[in-house]
Structure 1
Amino acid sequence: MPDTLDQPVQTLPDAVRIAPDDDVAVALRALAEGETIHVAGQFVTLAQPIGRGHKVALHAVAAGDPVRRYGWPIGSATAAIARGAHVHSHNIRTNLKAEEPYSFTPSPSAPATADKRWQFQGYRRADGSVGTRNEIWVIPTVGCVARTAERIAKQAADRHAGQVDAVLAFPHPLGCSQLGDDLDGTARVLAALASNPNAGAVLIIGLGCEENQLSKLLERIPPARRDRIRSVGAQISADEYEAAESAIDELVVIASQDRREPVGIEALRLGLKCGGSDGLSGITANPLIGRAADVVTQAGGQAILTEIPEIFGAERLLMQRAADEPVFDALVALVNRFKRYFIDHGEPISENPSPGNVAGGITTLEEKSLGAVQKGGHAIVTDVLAYGETLRRPGLTLLEAPGNDAVSTTALAAAGATMTLFSTGRGTPLGSPIPTLKLATNHDLARRKPGWIDFDAAQVLDDGLDAATDALMARICAIASGEPARNEVNGERDIAIWKRGVTL
């Protein structure tokens, strides 16, 4: 897939075509019926109004023919489409199928020169990782002590203000009435969160009678992290609040000795996410995030792409970039396993996009996916992780998790991301345990919701992708060095665990 908008688009003020053989262009502003626009070297008169982010046919398309955007089919025409007509869910259907065979046909990108200009002030950890924050996290094993954890964290935050970056609790409703793989997934995610480099130290509080036993959870935490872990069992403590206070006081003494120091961008662990996407997501914010992912991975750092149902229809683009056949096989297994997850629950694999996506101009899951995978840039796919596993290799990692914003951002943090780039065309205040930078796909959203948005990615349209990349990297480095992201300012620091099994 080609880079989009390498140059500013002042010569294309109305709509933009991504690839030379695309059948459609995407409106950059609301267009009126009867208006004649200039796009892709031709003039097109509009047969209907076209909303911003929606598609207009550049030529006639026969019923049953594929419709291309990004140089790939995004579905097939359900009726004849005239030149200048609105192309959307009323005249396109998905072509997605269930589990498919794939063949390993690697097509790696040409290696790029690493951009060594970028660095940030981070916290070095004993296991070799680098945090962008130095916080105390309070994690409950089970929902029964979720509110207890919140009260403990609030009291400690007031008591230790200014000594660490923050003291935060991450309540959740799970940890009991779960079985098998479902319970194991909860335990793996909580242990992985406790190992995130942004946690300078962690208090884990258990109840005592839950399936997610405190002692077993502690065994899952890598030895290099255990000197900064403390635990409290509420049922066996005479006063769990007093015990927690003492434990956190001890942890603050340890973590407060940590200091930021300059590190290269290769030390960043970057989560990649989109939510509330629109028709401009694949033109502005997602390609821009892809550029940031390339900067980090080319320098030797790590980036994580998840939301597996939102690569359906574009998975071959990632499979072509697998580092080797074992990585390819793992990616194929992950995609087909996720498709089987939908089928086993009697659901179509193409039910996405959401109503908000459709209103913003996205028609089929293929179209959404082709835009979404651009967040991975051109990096080689070096690893594939199951839900709850943590980063192992430099490069681009594919992580098992659904598209749900809260679940997938939590999975990114659990995998070890120390910052997440989150593109949005519709807007959302949601955050995760780590800085969760919101990139607006359009100027209107950035202007209307400055309390939510960290970066206006629509400057790609004004200044070109290269200039916008430099501006975004400067913002990333500032936030990695301690400037708060909007989710942190707003107190949007939550987790959600993927529940896949029965409830007892």
Structure 2
Amino acid sequence: MTQMPALFHVDPRDDVGTALHDLAPGDVIDTLLVRQPVARGHKVAVRPVSAGSPVLKYGFPIGTAISDIAAGDHVHTHNLSTALTGSGDYAYDRKAETAQARGDERTFMGYARGDGWTGGLAGTRNEIWVIPTVGCVARTASKIAERGDARHRGKGVDGVHALTHPFGCSQLGDDLDGTAAILAALAQHPNAGGVLLIGLGCENNQLDALMGRIDPSAHPRIRTLRAQSAGDELAEGDALIDDLAAIAAKAHRSPQPLSALSIGVKCGGSDGLSGLTANPLVGRMSDRVTIAGGRVILTEIPEIFGAEHLLMQRADNEAVFDGIVDVVNGFKAYFTAHGEPVSENPSPGNVAGGITTLEEKSLGAVQKAGRAIVTDVIPYGARVTRPGLTLLEAPGNDAVSSTALTASGATIILFTTGRGTPLGFPAPTVKVASNTALAERKPGWIDFDAGRVLDCGMETVANDFLDKIVAIASGEQTAAERNDEREIAIWKRGVTL
């Protein structure tokens, strides 16, 4: 038997610890004898749990034991099951400890946009975005953006990019409204120094109606093109891009306080270490930005099921609390109305990485919000308006939720991952590895190694991470930007004609 102090125990109340590297039967951790093989990121019982009893991690239940569990047992899908049910009843009782002031006066070099269409947020990029109203002109938008990028990148413009999608026609009601809301919000993003909206002409998502959704103060930096009305849509698009480039090039980076920053927080391809390293690290950034007067946006509503009480306890007031209840129960009803259980999560990759139930995944995921006060709850397609932590209605899907975060006003996205993904989005997407092995294996994907928390401690790594965020907000490219990974995805909720 080998002495291996290799278990991360989050809370003294917990029934399980997390293996920091692969364990074999017969290994001893302190006085605990490991009884089965346990992969890194998976759970080991630190005390017996009888069948039918809750299993605690993070100090809260992550499910119910479906058989007797002995100390030293591997705890996973074979002996642990979710306890989640449908919509819940909640009572307002603000009692959670919230983040305390730290007086961080750090600045980043951003693009001041004023108090009009950006609400005082500064851009972290000065790009031109080409946005089609409908999928029929998506390729047209791409061609115009590619030509414009070749002419203007590096000449006062950080890049010209098409944000393409397949929607905008054959949609009805709330489904069409969601598409229009997302595109209008993207057109008002602080990172876009200029926007070209391209319509076909006959689509449901008409250009004039879309412009009506956009703050008039943003109109001077927006141009429109109707492809069916143009003689040569590519030539006309080129001229409009040149016009926008001249406007965008007048903007320059200048020192901006953290109060002018808006960060979206997201996790994708999580593993058993995500809730121990990367997500708590991002939570420290949420605390620092909100304390400084900035904005943090949290979404992935189905991935807070089982941990929603932690956010409800930090609601700024009863109206915000009611908003959290409504969006959580509304999403649960969305699942059940389609005949799906609310616990249909984690993904196969999550399970392989050691996450067993949605409660476990959610308790780790909400740590990205730190201890910030929840000041607002907004619907899909809406834009953030209040300092502090905003909860945004959107699903957990990486592309859909990250697009929604961008549209809501996130000027940088902190994306934690234990499995890795190359995806990037219109806002600079900072990939944060939960473990050092991933960071070393995929340096072309990963921007920051949160696995260092286990060796160096949270405070040291948090200071380094804030330095990295400031550098990226000031213009340093992310791995996704270097790889030209930039996608949007729109939440499709209705019928297609």
Q: In structure 2, what residue type is equivalent to 1:445?
A: L
Q: Which residue number corresponds to residue 459 of structure 1?
A: 452
Deviations 1:222-249, CA, capped at 9 Å, x for gaps: 1121110000000011111111111111
Q: Which residue in 2 is equivalent to 1:403?
A: 396
Show the counterpart of 2:324: 331
Correspondence 1:472 to 2:458: no
Partner of 2:486: 493
Aligned with 1:132: secondary structure?
coil
Deviation at 1:257, TM superposition (A): 0.9
1:170 to 160, 163, 171: 163
Aligned twin of 1:139? 131
* Partner Cα separation in structure 1 for residue 198 and residue 353 of structure 2: 43
Aligned with residue 278 of structure 1, among 271, 274, 298: 271
- Matched to 1:239, the amino acid is D
Which letter does structure 2 place at the counterpart of 1:324? Answer: N
| CA displacement 1:144-168 (0-9 Å, x = unmatched) | 0000000000011111131200000
Contact 2:99–2:370 (Cα < 8 Å) also in 1: no
Alignment gaps of 5+ in structure 1: 1-10
Counterpart-to-counterpart distance in 2, 1:176 and 1:13: 59
Structure 1, 278-287 or 257-266: larger mean CA deviation: 257-266
> Corresponding residue for 2:32?
44
Say whether the 8 Å CA contact 2:378–2:390 is kept in structure 1.
yes
Q: Deviations over 1:42-82 (max 9, x none)?
A: x2001101100000000111000100000000001000001
TM-score norm. by structure 1 comes to 0.96
Please give the secondary structure, in 2, of the residue aligned with 1:382.
strand
Which amino acid is 1:290 matched to?
Answer: G
Query: Is this contact kept in 2: 1:108–1:380, CA < 8 A?
Result: no
In the alignment, the residues of structure 1 paired with residue 35 and residue 99 of structure 2 have an alpha-carbon distance, to the nearest angstrom, of 45
Which whole-Å CA distance do the structure 1 matches of 2:4 and 2:180 have between them? 51
Correspondence 1:81-480 to 2 at 5 A: 81-110=69-98, 112-126=100-114, 127=116, 128-163=120-155, 164-480=157-473
2:403 is matched by which residue type in structure 1? T
Change in Cα spacing, 1:110 to 1:353, as seen in structure 2 (3 Å) is closer
SS in 1 for 2:255: strand
The 2-side partners of 1:276 and 1:301 are apart by 27
- Secondary structure, in 3 states, of the residue corresponding to 1:304? strand
* Alpha-carbon distance between aligned partners in 2 of 1:69 and 1:335, rounded to the nearest angstrom: 22
- Is this contact kept in 1: 2:48–2:69, CA < 8 A? yes
Residue identity matched to 1:452: W
| Alignment correspondent of 1:3 | none
Give the Cα–Cα distance (whole angstroms) in 1 for the partners of residues 439 and 103 of structure 2.
28
CA contact (8 A) 2:272 2:355 kept: yes
- 2:7 counterpart (15, 23, 29): 15
Shift of 1:110: 4.6
- Ranges of 4+ aligned residues in structure 1 off by more than 3 Å: none
Structure 2: state its 5+ residue gaps.
none
1:290-316, Cα deviation, whole Å (9 max, x unpaired): 000100000000000000000000000
Instruction: Give the conservation status (yes or no) of the 8 Å contact 1:118–1:473.
Output: no
Partner of 2:46: 58
Q: State the one-letter code of the partner of 1:33.
A: P
Which amino acid is 1:277 matched to? S
Q: Counterparts of 1:13 and 1:218 in 2: how far apart (Å)?
A: 60
What's the TM-score once normalised by structure 2's chain length?
0.98
User: 3-state SS of the aligned residue for 1:130?
Assistant: coil
Q: Aligned pair in 2 of structure 1 residues 13, 264: CA closer, same or farther (>3 Å)?
A: farther
Identify the residue that residue 7 of structure 1 maps to in structure 2.
none
1:76 aligns to what SS in structure 2?
Answer: strand
CA distance in 1, matches of 2:494, 2:240: 34
- Structure 2 counterpart SS, 1:238: coil
Which residue identity is paired with 1:158? A
In 2, distance between residues paired with 1:443 and 1:482?
Answer: 25
User: Which AA in structure 2 matches 1:17?
Assistant: H
- Structure 1 residue 13 displacement after superposition: 4.2
Amino acid at match of 1:312: F
Q: Kindly provide the amino acid, as one letter, of the partner of residue 298 in structure 2.
A: L
Distance 1:446 1:260, change over 3 A: same
